[in-house]
Amino acid sequence: MRKIPPLNSLRAFEAAARLQSYTLAANELSVTQGAVSKQIKILENHVGKRLFNREFQGVSLTECGRGYFDAIAHIFKDIAAATETLVHGQQTGAIRLNALPTLSQRWLMPKLAAFQRAYPLINIDLTSGDGDVDFTLDKNHGHAIYDIAIRTIHSSHRSRIPHSAALMPVMKEEILPVCSPSYLEAQNHDENGALSIHGLTLLQHGTRPNMWTEYFSQTAILSDGKFTHLLKHSIVFEHFFMLIEAAIRGQGVALVPKVLIKDELDKKTLTVAIKNNFISPYQYYFIYRRELQNNDAIQSFLRWFTN
């Protein structure tokens, strides 16, 4: 018989890994932080590997921990979905979904297969877009073009969302400066081995031209104004998937949301160029038509993806 780790330990690990915090995991599970720590220690002893790095500002997954979390996370979602089906019956319906192009490809689509396993009778119609959210009716079909949009919203722009739309936060946007290993090796480094900022080609996102300015300002790598000349020697791309490809091909350093480059970091086709990441003022949201707040298919989708 296969030996499965204690369920309480797995629950504690899944929550802590998903939330990147023992404290938040404890709140979600209605236990103490010490109880979460104890259960994770039991799991680490069971598998014989360290799953978390304990850091001053919190915890982060080790490489083993990340792989284990990716392998088991869907199981808890499947259990929740199966329970919901048992209690309420099999969910049916259709969802028209519009998401950011690169996020669709690199984050959403890999998860949709698991969602379809959990809710096989909910049909998904996926399109991509990055413009303003528009829930006006399509005159040819008699309904809105889409029911849910996934967008990034600046912290100061939430009030601009129309009253007809409801928001559900998905995740914060952690930004990493990345490049190819060969590009990094070819650059100048100081006497301590740190990368010299000067001389780098900075790859820019066309619709978010202030990313490098925000990055340098928040990380205080360079004092105000001393980085503006660097931006004159840059290449601009419309989409993140273009930025990522350019960075892989050694064209320079790109600022990219970490969630979009997990595979590249794991496979080491991209590496972190500067050891200063930051949480951008943008956050990912599900934006959906307020009139669908009681739609069972919509709510099942939102719960599954934000759990």
Q: What is the DSSP string of 263-292?
A: HHHHHTSSEESSS--EEEEEEEEEEEEGGG
Tell me: domain 7-84, CATH 1.10.3720.10, correct?
no
Give the tokens for residue 265.
Answer: 């970091």
Question: Which of 89, 87, 10 has its CA nearest to residue 43?
Answer: 10
| Token digits of residue 164 | 């007809």
Q: Which CATH number fits domain 89-172+284-306: 1.10.645.10, 3.40.190.10, 3.40.80.10, 3.20.20.190?
A: 3.40.190.10
**3-state class (DSSP) for residue 28:** helix
In the structure, what pLDDT confidence band is assigned to residue 119 with cuts at 50, 70 and 90?
confident
Please tell me the pTM assigned to this model.
0.69
Q: Yes or no: is domain 173-280 CATH 3.40.640.10?
A: no
Which residues of the chain does CATH 3.40.190.10 include?
89-172+284-306, 173-280
Q: Evaluate whether 122 touches 170 at the Cβ level (below 8 Å).
A: no
Closest CA to 46 of 13, 23, 1: 13
Helical spans, DSSP H, in the chain: 7-19, 22-29, 33-47, 63-88, 101-103, 109-118, 181-186, 211-219, 240-248, 262-267, 296-306
Query: What is the pLDDT confidence band of residue 105, given thresholds at 50, 70 and 90?
Result: very high
**Which of helix, strand or coil describes residue 87?**
helix
The model's pLDDT over 77-101, given as tens digits with 9 standing for 90+, comes to 778 767 766 766 656 688 999 999 9
List CB contacts of 280: < 8 A, sequence separation 6 or more.
172, 173, 174, 175, 211, 214, 257
d(CA 68, CA 291): 39
Q: CA 187 to CA 126: how far, in whole Å?
A: 41
Q: For the chain, where do the domains classified as CATH 1.10.10.10 start and end?
A: 7-84
Write out pLDDT tens, residues 157-173.
877 777 778 899 998 89
